Amino acid sequence: SNNFFLLAGPCAIEGEDMAIRIAETVVSITDKLQIPYVFKGSFKKANRSRIDSFTGIGDEKALKILKKVSDTFGVPTVTDIHEISDAAMAAEYVDVLQIPAFLVRQTDLVVAAAETGKVVNLKKGQFMSPESMKHAVTKVTETGNEQAIITDRGTMFGYQDMIVDFRGIPTMKQYAPVVLDVTHSLQQPNQSSGVTGGRPALIGTMSRAGIAAGVDGLFMETHFDPANAKSDGANMLDLSLLEKLLTDLTAIRTTINSL
């Protein structure tokens, strides 16, 4: 369809019902708009600021729910891995293995993901330049796996803020398809509460700019009840706003494709 693709879903898999409910809604919208869709959910949250944050419902249990979403709706799925041993385990259940931004310099982890033969979604470290992502992609391709994608989730700007550098999009497109993570890139880290903040009111602005700047895909976390989500509630998109957002973005993409 030449539309952008979408990686979307809840931050964490909190249970089967919520996963199915979110997937069903997103699938229905993306089918209509001809947006290739990958369901996203973390089976484990390994890098919370605080030790008392929610970390998951159990690895296998969450991965099985991802598989069920895939089987039920016929969509691929993506989850993030944190240790070398996660790669083979997660690869049995999902189609795309995601390397978290903090971990994208861990060579063994990237190589382990690549060696599963799955698509590898490399999140750009908040501390990395667009140009330096070339080396991360090379770690994937040197295993013989040509299916790397890069997701930008913002760059540190002082201690408590992140910024998206749109100049990096054409740069990184030289190495792999580029996705803009429009929810995490609006985070505000290192808040005194120990819980990362966010600015979800700006998801529309960020998404529109990303599509206009030529990204291949968008990444966003969405939930039917962000305020009660078990993690990252501060920056998820309310699911009820998704259809209007994707419709608008599809219109912009159509124009961009025509230029």
Q: Which of 21, 64, 68, 135 binds a copy of itself (CB under 8 A)?
A: 135
Q: Which of 3, 42, 77, 126 binds a copy of itself (CB under 8 A)?
A: 126
Q: Which sign, positive or negative, has the C-alpha torsion 240, 186, 66, 173?
A: positive
**Could you tell me which of 152, 154, 147 has the C-alpha nearest to residue 133?**
152
**160: its two tokens:** 């408590």
Within 10 angstroms of residue 82's Cβ, the number of other Cβ atoms is 20
**What does the per-residue mask of binding to a copy of itself show for 234-253, with x meaning CB under 8 A?**
--------------x--xx-
Shortest CB 10 distance to a copy of itself, Å:
20
Start-end of H helices in the chain? 16-33, 59-73, 84-91, 107-115, 133-141, 168-173, 203-213, 242-258
Shortest CB 30 distance to a copy of itself, Å:
19
Q: Does 67 bind a copy of itself (CB under 8 A)?
A: no
Q: Does 2 bind a copy of itself (CB under 8 A)?
A: no
Q: Which is nearer to a copy of itself, 23 or 137 (CB)?
A: 137
Asked if residue 141 lies in contact with residue 113, where contact means CB atoms within 8 angstroms, the answer is no
Q: Which of 127, 146, 225, 241 binds a copy of itself (CB under 8 A)?
A: 127
Asked if residue 117 lies in contact with residue 134, where contact means CB atoms within 8 angstroms, the answer is no
Separation of alpha carbons 194 and 190, rounded Å: 6
Of residues 214-233, which lie at the interface with a copy of itself (CB under 8 A)?
A: 214
Q: Does 163 bind a copy of itself (CB under 8 A)?
A: yes
Q: Which of 2, 17, 51, 228 binds a copy of itself (CB under 8 A)?
A: 51
Separation of alpha carbons 244 and 29, rounded Å: 10
Separation of alpha carbons 36 and 19, rounded Å: 18
Q: Which is nearer to a copy of itself, 40 or 139 (CB)?
A: 139
Which residues does 206 contact at the CB level (< 8 Å), separation at least 6? 164, 180, 182, 185, 186
**Stretch of residues binding a copy of itself (CB under 8 A), selected from 44-52, 59-67, 144-152, 234-242:** 44-52
Q: Which is nearer to a copy of itself, 27 or 156 (CB)?
A: 156
**Stretch of residues binding a copy of itself (CB under 8 A), selected from 13-21, 31-39, 160-168, 231-239:** 160-168
Which residues does 84 contact at the CB level (< 8 Å), separation at least 6? 108, 109, 112
Of residues 173-212, which lie at the interface with a copy of itself (CB under 8 A)?
A: 186, 189-190, 192, 194, 199, 202, 205-206, 208-212
Within 10 angstroms of residue 170's Cβ, the number of other Cβ atoms is 13
The site for a copy of itself (CB under 8 A) is made up of: 46-51, 55, 82-84, 102-103, 105-108, 111, 125-129, 131-132, 134-135, 138-139, 142, 155-161, 163-167, 169-170, 186, 189-190, 192, 194, 199, 202, 205-206, 208-214, 248, 251-252, 254-256, 258-259
